[in-house]
């Protein structure tokens, strides 16, 4: 009998303690990471429109381009042929988008960040999100070095 009373008392106490706690909401001026990603995924982005002010998400924050470097172009062409040509063509849509005119549509930083950090770009960057919706094939992370991505960019500069 004493056990039943103690059990009932514990159950009632637990019920009262578990009720009534207030949920604390985050201030409206600080959106959560989930809200930021959700907003990016609902934005309507034209994948063919130039977005030269968008630098993308990744290690490349700023890049100044000089005259075309022929040695870098040759390296970029070889790296492109080995790592990119299975999914990308220049003049037509393939598994991924056509690359003709890419340097006129995207900033150099965006191009390099897409090569170096495709997973995050496809999840958080508005253009990356629109591309994954359109092509339904994520860009593979080739684990490239920054120097290889830069060489590919240089090669792209000659193809426009």
Once rounded to an integer, what is the mean pLDDT over residues 53-71?
Answer: 97
Q: In sequence order, what are the beta bridge partners of 155?
A: none
CA angle 136, 140, 141 (to 5 degrees): 145
Residue 115 has pLDDT above 90, yes or no: yes
Residue 82 has pLDDT above 50, yes or no: yes
For residue 132, give the H/E element and its range: helix 126-135
pLDDT in tens, 92-104: 999 999 999 999 9
Category of 54 on φ-ψ map: left (φ > 0), alpha (ψ -120 to 50) or beta: beta
Q: Is 84 exposed, middle or buried (0-12, 13-18, 19+ CB in 10 A)?
A: buried
Q: Calculate the CA 16 to chain-centre distance.
A: 46
pLDDT in tens, 123-156: 999 999 999 999 999 999 999 999 999 999 999 9
What average pLDDT is seen over the chain? 84
């Amino acid at each position: 009998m004493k056990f039943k009373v103690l059990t009932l008392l514990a159950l009632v106490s637990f019920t009262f303690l578990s009720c009534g706690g207030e949920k604390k909401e985050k201030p409206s001026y600080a959106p959560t990471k989930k809200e930021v990603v959700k907003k990016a995924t609902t934005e309507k982005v034209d994948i063919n429109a130039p977005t030269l002010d968008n630098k993308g998400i990744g290690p490349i924050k700023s890049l100044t381009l000089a005259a075309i470097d022929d040695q870098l172009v040759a390296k970029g062409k070889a790296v492109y042929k080995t790592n990119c040509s299975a999914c990308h063509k220049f003049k037509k849509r393939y598994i991924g988008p056509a690359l003709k005119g890419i340097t006129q549509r995207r900033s150099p930083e965006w191009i390099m960040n897409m090569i170096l950090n495709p997973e995050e770009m496809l999840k958080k960057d508005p253009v990356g999100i629109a591309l994954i919706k359109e092509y339904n094939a994520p860009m593979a992370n080739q684990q490239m070095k920054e120097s290889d991505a830069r060489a590919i960019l240089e090669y792209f500069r000659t193809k426009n």
